[in-house]
Amino acid sequence: MFEITVANFIDSAHFLRGYKGKCSNIHGHTWRVEVTLRGEKLNEIGLLADFNDIKKIIKESTDSFDHKLINDLEPFNEINPSSENIAKYFYQMLSDKLSTMGEGVTIVKVLVSESRDTSAVYYEIH
């Protein structure tokens, strides 16, 4: 079994509705969105999938968040833009887009970090 991971960074702000503390105020992060793919077979040149193709798809999917207030973007205008919810959002968005990476290649997880020492992971058990 092989796994590969690709990350992208975005700068954006958010605030947590209903949170009792500083995070209820608008504040910004340099977010790391990290996507891990898995598969059993490598292609004819020894790759699970092309890093550049994956980077392009992740960047296209995260660009709409860059330099924005996440609370203004759907679905986060209704649900809290916590790291956990953002990780789930990108997992679901990227699952279909990354299914074209190769036969048997699946998304394993999405990790979202809002700082050097905090992160949230979303994955589904199949």
Torsion region of 61: left, alpha or beta (phi above 0 gives left; psi -120 to 50 gives alpha): alpha
Instruction: Pick the catalytic residue from 14, 29, 34, 114.
Output: 114
Q: What is the pLDDT of residue 102?
A: 76
103 annotated active-site: no
What is the mean pLDDT of each successive set of 10 residues along the chain, which is 126 residues long? 97 97 97 96 94 95 97 97 98 89 89 96 92
Annotated active-site residue in 23, 27, 60, 124:
23
Model pTM score:
0.94
DSSP conformation class of 90: H
Active site residue 23: yes
Token pair belonging to 99? 């299914």
| CA 94 to mean position of chain CA atoms | 8
Task: Give the span between the Cα atoms of 7 and 5, in whole angstroms.
Answer: 7
Beta strands in the chain (DSSP E): 2-14, 27-39, 106-115, 118-122
Catalytic residue among 3, 60, 67, 124: 67
Domains of the chain, first to last: 2-122 (3.30.479.10)
Catalytic annotation present for 114: yes
